[in-house]
Chains A and B, each alone.
Chain A
Amino acid sequence: MKPKTIIEKIWENHTVLSEPGKPDLLYIDLHMVHEVTSPQAFEGLRLAGRKVRRPDLTFATMDHNVPTTNRQTITDEIAKKQMETLLKNCEEFGIEVADINSPNNGIVHVIGPELGLTQPGKTIVCGDSHTSTHGAFGALAFGIGTSEVEHTLATQTIWQSRPKTMEVRVNGRLAPGVTAKDIILAIIAKHGVDFGTGYVLEYTGEAIRGLTMEERMTICNMSIEAGARAGLISPDQVTFDYLRGREKVPQGEAFERKVEEWKALATDEGATYDAVVEIDTSEIEPMVTWGTNPSQGVGVNGVVPSPEDATSSAERKAIEQSLEYMDLKPGTKMTDIEIQHVFIGSCTNSRLSDLRAAAKIAKGRKVKEGVRALVVPGSQRVKKAAEEEGLDKIFIEAGFEWRESGCSMCLSMNPDFVPEGERCASTSNRNFEGRQGKGARTHLVSPEMAAAAAVAGKFVDIRTLETEATSQS
């Protein structure tokens, strides 16, 4: 039999219909729903008198709008209405929801894996572009628009053209002080903000195999920042060990039978891709972005580039526009850029290991005067686990604000934002204009780099800090 990639295997397992002149009709195993991109979809169902076909394969949470201080008093009336609408819709259509008071509440891409809803071989959709996160488990997971949310609710399927496949090979081992976040930022910086458009990415190579599940999620999360709707990693023992015993996976022997099925999903030896890109870990330093898209980043010891470095007129224009918005001059050392805000959180970097890594840097140090630093756990479970380890105390002692879970300052739909003209070192995924607030200037970094920036008030190479973190990857 012809060797196949995991992408082809999952696709073929889920094709309900494949006819010439049409995209394929794909079955969806898990549909995750949140408050912002679903109200119009439910309203559409109601107007057409339709039901949710498989409420049992649908799971809802609220994350984008939720306040991270007092969760019981939502002052934003429109946000409140959106959350109430979700609750009403879930009740009417019989969908399980992790509401604001649930111990399972959190960012949709944090709780899916945490609960074990996310599993190898599944097709997963959500009205959110960072759904690619779930690919870390060897699932085919991608973001959809609200019309597709409605379509999935009504039919449990989606029309999709068969994507091209791309191998993204990360060669070598990760050097100390370099993180999963740096790998993905370096890949996007090297290959461009849209190199993945039209493709599903599979991350392979020694460096990827050596990553924990949480680190793999950070990588897959940002596939969309390369233009790829989905990015995944073939499942292995690390994946199975993470999932064993979680609430929504089969238990006992049934789980071990599943593992045997999942093992067969991994890309076959000798399978080929439509395209291959590579990066060597020796090229990767702790990264900092300087611009207004995630590909505009350099190693922390680098400098802000010049429009003169551009290879096309379009790129030159993009650099000029970014530098103007970011108020940066070409040639400025990244380590000379001062920041006023730090955000540790988001579906990219808000899991327990992210908080541990940041806490290692924060421990025994103080946030620089004039810097506001927020730590926003990805879920209520992450928050609880972190508090059990005393991470909250380390952060508070160091002068960080310890918050409730949610999307928070990643997109600032809730009350957390960066004021106009100020700079933020952020562990989130997008440095777009206005993303963290109108006129706010975002620099994307790893949790370690963010914590170090909070202490120094500017970017520092974490490899120069004396801490336990520098001896670990």
Chain B
Amino acid sequence: MEPIVKHTGNTAVLPRVNVDTDQIIPKQFLKRVERTGFGQFLFFDWRFLKDGSDNPDFELNQPAAKDATILIADHNFGCGSSREHAPWALQDYGFRVIIAPSFADIFYNNCFKNGILPIRLDEEKVYELMENGKDKVYELTVDLENQTITDSNGFQASFEIDDYWKEMLLNGWDEISLTLQYEDKIAAYEEKQSV
């Protein structure tokens, strides 16, 4: 997994609440047996018109949102299905950071396993970022080490993150290798519980 220490990139603003993983990656694209190549299907039903051309009204198709690597989203982002294809698609499309007032639990966990930093931020701060990034190219710097978000005009916010996930992302660790260091503890548990 590619580590994240400090990330600077352009933002895309998606001011919709309860964006579910069925929208992030519709079911017809879940049949692949690979982990890669899902970016082309991200937000498929919103992003493309019936004839396959770009939907000019969709937020990610706005000129200012092209090449964005930071997604600014609204409440309960990633709700619904547990499909990890959702973070795979976001990551493959180019997103490394998602900032929202709240996330669905399973999606939030899935992000960390795929080198995406999900940041929970106060609603007012998120809406301020949305306003700043509305219809224009807007660059943010996210510093995971110091847990801050800044722009070049003086915006500053700090965010909370579990130490465990922070370490994982900073180092790009593989979680299974980490767990296998506790193999003796797992074996002891199995012995004691007779499982």
A residues apposed to B, CB below 8 Å? 13, 16-17, 21-23, 25, 27, 29, 36-37, 39-40, 43, 48, 50, 53-54, 57, 64-65, 76, 78-79, 81-82, 85, 127-129, 131, 142-148, 150-151, 154-157, 159, 161, 193-194, 197-198, 224, 227-229, 293, 314-315, 317-318, 321, 411-413, 430, 432-435, 438
Set of chain A residues within 8 Å of B55, measured between Cβ atoms? none
Q: In the complex, what residue of chain B is closest to A435 when comparing beta carbons?
A: B22
Report whether A17 and B82 are in contact in the complex, using a CB–CB cutoff of 8 Å. Answer: no
Cα separation A76 to B163 with both chains bound (whole Å): 45
Cα separation A155 to B27 with both chains bound (whole Å): 29
Report whether B20 and A293 are in contact in the complex, using a CB–CB cutoff of 8 Å. Answer: yes
Report whether B82 and A129 are in contact in the complex, using a CB–CB cutoff of 8 Å. Answer: yes
Name which of B32, B83, B185 has the most chain A CB atoms within 10 A of its CB. Answer: B83
Cα separation A27 to B187 with both chains bound (whole Å): 10
Report whether A151 and B176 are in contact in the complex, using a CB–CB cutoff of 8 Å. Answer: yes
A129 in complex: contacting residue of B80, B113, B186, B193, CB < 8 Å: B80
Closest 5 CB pairs of A and B: A147-B113, A145-B84, A39-B33, A145-B110, A143-B82
Set of chain B residues within 8 Å of A321, measured between Cβ atoms? 16
Set of chain A residues within 8 Å of B82, measured between Cβ atoms? 37, 127-129, 131, 143-145
Nearest chain A CB to B34's CB is how many angstroms away? 7
Report whether B179 and A157 are in contact in the complex, using a CB–CB cutoff of 8 Å. Answer: yes
Report whether A413 and B164 are in contact in the complex, using a CB–CB cutoff of 8 Å. Answer: no
B residues apposed to A, CB below 8 Å? 15-18, 20, 22-23, 26-28, 30-35, 45, 74-76, 79-84, 87, 102, 104-106, 109-110, 113-114, 162-164, 175-176, 179-180, 182-183, 185-186, 189-190, 193, 195
Report whether A65 and B31 are in contact in the complex, using a CB–CB cutoff of 8 Å. Answer: yes
Report whether A147 and B79 are in contact in the complex, using a CB–CB cutoff of 8 Å. Answer: no
Report whether A79 and B31 are in contact in the complex, using a CB–CB cutoff of 8 Å. Answer: yes
Cα separation A159 to B177 with both chains bound (whole Å): 13
Report whether B176 and A155 are in contact in the complex, using a CB–CB cutoff of 8 Å. Answer: yes
Given contacts A21-B164, A82-B33, A434-B45, is CB(A413)–CB(B81) below 8 Å?
Answer: no
Q: In the complex, what residue of chain B is closest to A433 when comparing beta carbons?
A: B23
Cα separation A38 to B81 with both chains bound (whole Å): 14
Report whether A193 and B23 are in contact in the complex, using a CB–CB cutoff of 8 Å. Answer: no
Set of chain B residues within 8 Å of A48, measured between Cβ atoms? 176
Report whether A27 and B193 are in contact in the complex, using a CB–CB cutoff of 8 Å. Answer: yes
Given A25-B179, A50-B176, 5 other A-B residues pairs in contact with their CB atoms under 8 A: A27-B190, A37-B84, A194-B75, A224-B106, A229-B105
Set of chain A residues within 8 Å of B32, measured between Cβ atoms? 78
What would 10 A/B residue contacts be, using CB atoms closer than 8 Å? A22-B164, A57-B195, A79-B31, A145-B83, A151-B176, A194-B75, A194-B102, A197-B102, A318-B16, A318-B17
B186 in complex: contacting residue of A79, A156, A293, A314, CB < 8 Å: A156
Nearest chain B CB to A44's CB is how many angstroms away? 8
Report whether B185 and A17 are in contact in the complex, using a CB–CB cutoff of 8 Å. Answer: yes
Q: In the complex, what residue of chain B is closest to A291 when comparing beta carbons?
A: B18
Cα separation A433 to B26 with both chains bound (whole Å): 10
Set of chain B residues within 8 Å of A148, measured between Cβ atoms? 109-110, 113
Q: In the complex, what residue of chain B is closest to A28 when comparing beta carbons?
A: B195
Report whether B175 and A159 are in contact in the complex, using a CB–CB cutoff of 8 Å. Answer: yes
Nearest chain B CB to A239's CB is how many angstroms away? 21
Set of chain B residues within 8 Å of A78, measured between Cβ atoms? 31-32
Report whether A317 and B17 are in contact in the complex, using a CB–CB cutoff of 8 Å. Answer: yes
Report whether B17 and A16 are in contact in the complex, using a CB–CB cutoff of 8 Å. Answer: no
Report whether A43 and B179 are in contact in the complex, using a CB–CB cutoff of 8 Å. Answer: no
Report whether A432 and B23 are in contact in the complex, using a CB–CB cutoff of 8 Å. Answer: yes
Set of chain B residues within 8 Å of A154, measured between Cβ atoms? 176, 179-180
Report whether A151 and B23 are in contact in the complex, using a CB–CB cutoff of 8 Å. Answer: no
Nearest chain A CB to B143's CB is how many angstroms away? 20
Report whether B80 and A430 are in contact in the complex, using a CB–CB cutoff of 8 Å. Answer: yes
Nearest chain B CB to A78's CB is how many angstroms away? 4
Q: In the complex, what residue of chain B is closest to A85 when comparing beta carbons?
A: B33
B74 in complex: contacting residue of A23, A229, A314, CB < 8 Å: A314
Cα separation A438 to B43 with both chains bound (whole Å): 12
Given contacts A194-B75, A197-B76, is CB(A293)–CB(B84) below 8 Å?
Answer: no
Q: In the complex, what residue of chain B is closest to A150 when comparing beta carbons?
A: B176
Report whether A412 and B27 are in contact in the complex, using a CB–CB cutoff of 8 Å. Answer: yes
Report whether A147 and B110 are in contact in the complex, using a CB–CB cutoff of 8 Å. Answer: yes
Given contacts A411-B27, A413-B28, A433-B23, is CB(A129)–CB(B81) below 8 Å?
Answer: yes
Report whether B31 and A36 are in contact in the complex, using a CB–CB cutoff of 8 Å. Answer: yes
Nearest chain A CB to B142's CB is how many angstroms away? 22
Q: In the complex, what residue of chain A is closest to B36 when comparing beta carbons?
A: A40
Nearest chain A CB to B126's CB is how many angstroms away? 11
Report whether A151 and B162 are in contact in the complex, using a CB–CB cutoff of 8 Å. Answer: no
Cα separation A397 to B81 with both chains bound (whole Å): 36
Q: In the complex, what residue of chain B is closest to A158 when comparing beta carbons?
A: B179
Cα separation A53 to B195 with both chains bound (whole Å): 12
Report whether B105 and A197 are in contact in the complex, using a CB–CB cutoff of 8 Å. Answer: yes
